[in-house]
A and B are shown apart, each in its own frame.
Chain A
Amino acid sequence: MEQKSIISITNLTKEFPVGKGHFTALDKVNIEFGVGEFAGLVGPSGSGKTTLLNIIGSLDTPTTGDAIVMGQSISKLSHKQSALLRNHHIGFIFQTFNLLPVYTVYENVEFALLLQNMSSGERHKAVMEALEWVGLTDKEKSKPSMLSGGESQRVAIARAMVKKPQIVLADEPTANLDSKNSHHILQTMKKLNEELKVTFIFATHDEKVMMYLNRVVNLADGRIVSDERVMNHVKAQ
C-alpha cells in the first residue's frame, strides 16, 4: 500500500540565523514517505519536527539539500508555484486550529476552494461532503468562537480535506484537546487516510497520536535517530 514515494528528502539541512551564528534545525536528513502513509515525526521540542513539516509543505525552503514533494523540488519553486502546490495538493492542520474568526464553519472550509475557481455548486457539494466526514453538517453556520476545541479541530480537518489533497501535514493536532476529543479527531483522520489513501504526516510528541501511527520517525537535534514501521494499535472505526 505504501510503496510509491510521494515525498523524498535528500541531505536536507536547515539553518536559522541566531545572532552572529546560526542554529541547525535539521542536519542532513534523508527520508521518504509513500502514498497513504500515516506517519509521525516524533521528538522533543527543538528536534526539528515542525521545521521538516514546514519544508514538506513548501512554507519554508532548505538551506542545503532538497525535498521533492509530488515530483516538485521545494527549493526551486517560485512563490506562486509553492502556493499552487499547497492549494491543490497539501492540507494543513495546526495545533491552534487557525480558523478564520470572521467566517462561518462553512466559509472556513470553503476558503481553499475559492482559490481553485470552482463553481459555487461544486464548492457547496465538496464543503458539505467534508463537513459530513467530520460530523459537523449541523454547525455549518456557526462562527469558530461558538465551537469547542474538538469541533474547531474537526473544522480544520474538513478544511484540509475539502480539496482532496494527496498529503495532510498535521502539527501537534491534539495538543490543545482533551483525551476524548483527541481520539475522536485521530479516528476521523485515520478513517480518511484509509478511505481516501491520503498521506498523513504528524509532528507530535503526544502518546495518543502514536497509538494510531503506522510509522514513527524519531528526531533529535535535527537528525533522524530512528525510523520504524509499527503495527496499528488502533483501527479506524
Chain B
Amino acid sequence: MIALKLAFRNLLGAGLRTWLNVTVLSFAFVVIIFYNGMLNGWDRQGKRDTQAWEVGQGQLWHPTYDKYDVFSIQDAHGLMETREKQLAVEGKLTPILIAQGTAYPEGRMQGVLLKGIDPEQKILKIPSHLLKQTATAADDATATDGATEVDVHYAIDVHHAIIGKRMAKSLKVGEGDQMLIRWRDKNGTFDALEVKIVAVFKSDVPSIDNGQMYLSLQTLQQMMDMPGEATILVSGTEEINGNLGNWVFKDLDFLFTELDEIILSKRAGSMIMQSTLLLIALLAIFDTQILSIFRRQKEIGTYIALGMTRAQVVGIFTVEGGAHSILAALVGAVYGIPLFMWLAAKGITFGVDDMGITMAETIFPYYSLGLIAFTTLFVIAAATIVSYIPARRISKMNPTDALRGKVN
C-alpha cells in the first residue's frame, strides 16, 4: 500500500515524462481493445449471417458429399426417406440439391453450381419464395390454362432463378435478364433450358453466392431426373443433432471451421501491429525506469537510510513503472470508452463489399468485459515486468554510493 501511494506520488511528480509514457501506453490499450473488438464483432456477425444464410442449426450431408471436392457432387445425392420428408414438412429442415451446370449469358460460357431449394422454406434467408412460379406469371408459359400455380416443369419455357450480387457481377447480368443453362442429368445426358433472373439478392455470405444459381428444388430434381432427392439437408432446429439414416450430421463447429480459421489468421496478423505498439510503449517505460534509477540515486539512498530494505525500494520503483499502465488504463478509458461506444453504435463500413469471406459491409465491434479485463491485466503485467527488470539494479546498489549519487 505504501509502495502504491509512493509510486503514484512519484509518478505524478515526474510531470510531462509520466504523461508522455501514459499517453503512448493508453494508445496501445485502445488499439488492442479496438482491434480485438472489431474481430469479435466480425466473428459474431459472420457466424450469425452464415447461420442465417447457409448452415442453419447444422447440416445433414449425403455421405459422399464433400463441400471442397467438386467431383463429389455428381454422386452426392440421395432420396429423402419418410422421416426426413416429415421433418421438411414440419419446417425443421430443408433439402438442397446441388448439381454442376454451365450458364451462357449473352453467348459467353461460365461454369455454375445449380442449387435447388424449396421455395416454401423458411430456414434460410435466401429469398427462395421468388422461385415460386405460376403458369400465368411464367414468361411464354405453355402450362395448363387457368392454373394459378403449377410446379415448375418443362411446360414452362423460361424458369425462374435467383442469384447473389457477386454472381450477377460475375455473369454480368441483372434482374430480368435471361440466359441459357446447360447440364448433364444423372444418366449423363446433356440438356438445356432458358432461365430468367427474377431477383439478385444481397448477402454478406459469399459461399452461398459466388458461382451459384438457385432454382426451385422440384425444377432441379426434374432437370437432373432425381425426384425426391437432395444433396444436403439444412436443419432449422437444435433438436436435430445427429445422423439421420444415411445423412451425416455436420454441427456448427464443423461448419464454422473456415470462418474461425480466417478470423484466427486475421487475429494473428493484427497481433503483430498490437505487439509493436505495446513494445514501443513498454520500451518507453523501460527507458524511463533506467533514467529514473540513475537520476534518483540519492532518493534511493535516502529511502534505505530511512529504514527501507532494498527489496522495498525495488518494490516502489516496480510499482511506479507498473502504475504507468494503471494511469494509461484511466486515460485510455477517458477517450476510449466514448470512441468504442460510438463505433459499437455506428459500426465501421469498409467500403469493399466482396472480400471472398463472410464479412458484413459494416462491422459493429463487440467489446466484451472479458476482452477489456484481459487486455488491462495483460498490459499491467507487461508494464510491471518491464519496470521490475531495471529496478532489480537497486538491490545491488551500495547505499553509501547511492546517497552520494555515485553509482555507475
Contacts and interface: CB of A to CB of B under 8 A. Distances in A.
B306 A87 contact: yes
B302 A60 contact: no
Nearest to A117: B2
Interface string A94-119: 10101011110001000110110000
B62 interface: no
Interface string B1-33: 010000001101110000000000000000000
Nearest to A100: B299
Interface string B302-341: 1011111111100000000000000000000000000000
Interface stretch (A40-48, A76-84, A225-233): A76-84
B400 A92 contact: no
Contacts, number: 63
Interface residues of B, number: 23
B307 A88 contact: yes
A102 B13 contact: yes
B86 interface: no
A59 interface: yes
Given A98-B301, A102-B12, A103-B9, A83 B403 contact: no
B309 A80 contact: yes
B77 interface: no
Nearest to B301: A98
A59 B403 contact: yes
Nearest to B11: A102
A98 B400 CA distance: 13
Interface string A201-221: 000000000000000000000
B306 A111 contact: yes
B222 interface: no
B219 to A, nearest CB: 82
Contacts of A112: 306-307
Nearest to A111: B306
The contact size tier of chain A is: 20 to 34
Interface in A64-95: 79-80, 83-84, 86-88, 92, 94
A54 interface: yes
Contacts of B298: 96, 98
A57 interface: yes
Contacts of B399: 59-60
A115 B304 contact: no
Nearest to B398: A60
B17 to A, nearest CB: 13
Interface string B378-401: 000000000000000000001110
A79 B309 contact: yes
A52 B302 CA distance: 18
A84 B304 CA distance: 10
Interface in A27-53: 50-51
Interface in A138-167: 159
Contacts of B299: 98, 100-101
B307 A100 contact: no
Contacts of B13: 101-102
A54 B400 contact: yes
Contact of B9 (A54, A60, A102): A102
Contact of B10 (A57, A60, A102, A159): A102
Nearest to A83: B309
A48 B312 CA distance: 29
Contact of B305 (A51, A86, A96, A101): A86
Given A101-B13, A102-B10, A59 B2 contact: no
Contacts of A87: 306-308
A103 B399 CA distance: 21
A88 B307 CA distance: 8
B319 to A, nearest CB: 14
B306 A115 contact: yes
B207 to A, nearest CB: 61
B307 A84 contact: yes
Interface in B287-307: 298-299, 301-302, 304-307
Contacts of A98: 298-299, 301-302, 305, 403
B408 to A, nearest CB: 14
A100 B302 contact: yes
B324 to A, nearest CB: 16
Contacts of B307: 83-84, 86-88, 112, 115
Contacts of A80: 309
Nearest to B306: A112
Given A83-B312, A103-B9, A111-B306, 13 more contacts: A59-B305, A60-B398, A60-B400, A79-B309, A83-B307, A88-B307, A94-B403, A98-B302, A98-B305, A100-B302, A101-B13, A115-B2, A159-B306
17 contacts: A51-B400, A59-B400, A60-B400, A79-B309, A79-B311, A83-B312, A84-B307, A88-B307, A94-B403, A98-B403, A100-B299, A101-B299, A102-B12, A102-B14, A103-B9, A112-B307, A115-B312
The 8 A-B residue pairs whose C-beta atoms are closest, nearest first, are: A87-B307, A102-B13, A83-B309, A98-B302, A86-B307, A92-B305, A59-B399, A54-B400
Interface of A: 50-51, 54, 57, 59-60, 79-80, 83-84, 86-88, 92, 94, 96, 98, 100-103, 107, 111-112, 114-115, 159
Interface of B: 2, 9-10, 12-14, 298-299, 301-302, 304-312, 398-400, 403
